[in-house]
Structure 1
Amino acid sequence: VEAHFGIDFAETFAIELDELAAEPVKDGFVIITDEAIEVTAEGQLFVRNVCMPFDRYLREKSRSKPTFSRTV
């Protein structure tokens, strides 16, 4: 991603990575390294929740009005 888009991933997505570290990493659903974000076997049931911080549409929509979505 960094090479393709010419970005520093950790800098560009600092807020999103912080959100992942707050719950999914602590719960053992995600492992974050310098090279990858990996969803663990336990986290596969929650992959939608893990990806939500990176969903720009969801983030922008929630600013204008509350967005409710079913997740496990």
Structure 2
Amino acid sequence: FIQKANEYKSSIWVEKDERRVNAKSLLGVLSLGIVGGTTIRIIADGADEEQAVSGLVKLVESGFAE
């Protein structure tokens, strides 16, 4: 997930229970304690924000099978 997030130029965040972290930060994402079935939000801002959100949502929904 972090590797995929780093492919985009936009700033990207992952949000869980009102807590938001940088999606490009391994420690940040791990600190959210996300497990299967957890609801998260993916937020992006920048030149390729739509592609970033779409690509990361697809990755998560596929169970991380690229």
Decide: shared fold, TM above 0.5.
no
The structure with the greater share of residues assigned to strand is 2
Task: Mark the structure with the bigger radius of gyration.
Answer: 1
TM-score with structure 1 length normalisation?
0.34
Relative to the length of structure 2, the TM-score reads: 0.36
